[in-house]
Chains A and B, each alone.
Chain A
Amino acid sequence: MGDQNSLPRSDAISHTDLVRFIVILSLTISCIVISAVAFSRSIPYINYQLFFIPIVYAAYFYPRRGVYVAAICGVVYQAVGYYYSFPDGVQMLGVTTEALFFVITAIIIAYFIDTIRSGEARYRTVFEHSQLGIVLFSRENFAIRQTNAKFASMLNFSEQEIITSTFTDLLVNEREKERFIERIDKNDETSDFETRLAAAGGTPCWVNLSWSRIDEETVSCTAININTRKLAEKLNNDNMMKYRQLTENSPTGILIVQKSTILYANPSFSAFSGYLPAELTGKELSEYIDKPDIHRFREFATHWSEQKPIAGQGEFRFVRKDGEIRVGVLFTNPIIHANKPATMINVMDISEKLRLEEKIHMDNERRRGIIITVAHELRTPLQPILGYLNLLISDPQGFSIVDDTKKILERCLVSVERERLIINQMLDLSVLESGKLQLSLASSPLEPIVQSVLDAGGYQTKAEISVSLPQGITLSCDRDRLYSVFDSLISNAINYSKAPRKIEITYRTEASDAFHHIAIRDNGIGIPQESLPYIFEPFQLADAAKLSRKYDRIGLSLSIAKKVIQMHGGDITVQSIVNQGSTFTIHIPKEVTDHA
Chain B
Amino acid sequence: MRKIMLIEDDQQILEMMDVLLRNIGYEPVLVPDVLEALERVRTDPPDLVLLDIMMTPMNGWEFLERVREKYQIRSLPILLFTAAPEVEEKIALLNDPKLGVLQKPVSIPELRAGLRRFLPD
Contacts and interface: CB of A to CB of B under 8 A. Distances in A.
A416 B13 CA distance: 16
A235 B85 CA distance: 69
Contact of A383 (B54, B86, B104, B109): B104
Interface string B2-46: 000000001011011101100100000000000000000000000
B107 interface: yes
A146 to B, nearest CB: 103
Interface string A368-405: 00001001111111111111101100110000000000
A424 B20 CA distance: 23
Interface string A291-329: 000000000000000000000000000000000000000
A381 B12 CA distance: 8
B105 interface: yes
B23 A394 contact: yes
A27 to B, nearest CB: 133
A384 B85 contact: no
Interface in A408-467: 416-417, 420, 424, 427, 430-431
Contacts of B84: 372, 376
Nearest to A419: B105
Given A379-B104, A395-B23, A384 B16 contact: yes
Contacts of B10: 380, 383
B106 interface: yes
B108 interface: yes
**Best-surrounded residue of A372, A375, A376, A380 (most CB of chain B within 10 A):** A380
B108 A372 contact: no
Nearest to B86: A431
Interface of A is mostly: helix
Most B CB within 10 A of own CB, among A388, A390, A417? A390
A559 B19 CA distance: 38
Nearest to A431: B86
B83 A390 contact: no
Given A380-B13, A381-B12, A394-B23, A387 B83 contact: no
Given A376-B85, A431-B85, A391 B19 contact: yes
A387 B106 contact: yes
Contacts of A378: 83
Nearest to A424: B103
A390 B20 contact: yes
A416 B105 CA distance: 9
B105 A420 contact: yes
A384 B23 contact: no
A384 B104 CA distance: 10
A388 B15 CA distance: 10
A385 B107 CA distance: 10
Contacts of A388: 16, 19
B105 A383 contact: yes
A252 B85 CA distance: 46
B104 A380 contact: yes
A383 B85 contact: no
Contacts of A381: 12
Contact of A391 (B20, B83, B86, B106): B20
A384 B10 CA distance: 10
Contact of A379 (B16, B105, B107, B108): B105
Contacts of A431: 85-86
Q: Which has the most chain B C-beta neighbours within 10 Å: A381, A384, A394?
A: A384
B108 A383 contact: no
B106 A386 contact: yes
B63 to A, nearest CB: 18
Nearest to B108: A390
Interface string B72-112: 00000000000111100000000000000001111111000
Contacts of B108: 387, 390-391, 394
Nearest to A426: B85
A268 B10 CA distance: 61
A375 B104 CA distance: 10
B54 A387 contact: no
Given A372-B84, A380-B83, A384-B13, A390 B107 contact: yes
Nearest to B53: A376
B105 A376 contact: no
> Looking at B17, B54, B107, which has the most chain A CB atoms within 10 Å of its CB?
B107
A388 to B, nearest CB: 6
Nearest to B83: A379
A420 B103 CA distance: 10
A427 B16 contact: no
B19 A382 contact: no
A372 B105 contact: no
B72 to A, nearest CB: 31
30 contacts: A372-B84, A375-B83, A376-B84, A379-B83, A379-B104, A379-B105, A380-B10, A380-B13, A380-B104, A380-B105, A381-B12, A382-B104, A383-B10, A383-B105, A383-B106, A384-B12, A384-B13, A384-B16, A385-B105, A386-B106, A387-B16, A387-B20, A388-B16, A390-B20, A391-B108, A394-B23, A420-B105, A427-B85, A427-B86, A431-B85
Given A379-B103, A379-B104, A385-B105, 9 more contacts: A376-B54, A378-B83, A380-B104, A383-B10, A386-B106, A387-B13, A387-B20, A387-B107, A424-B103
The 10 closest A-B pairs by CB, nearest first: A379-B83, A382-B105, A390-B108, A383-B105, A386-B105, A384-B16, A427-B85, A387-B16, A376-B83, A380-B83
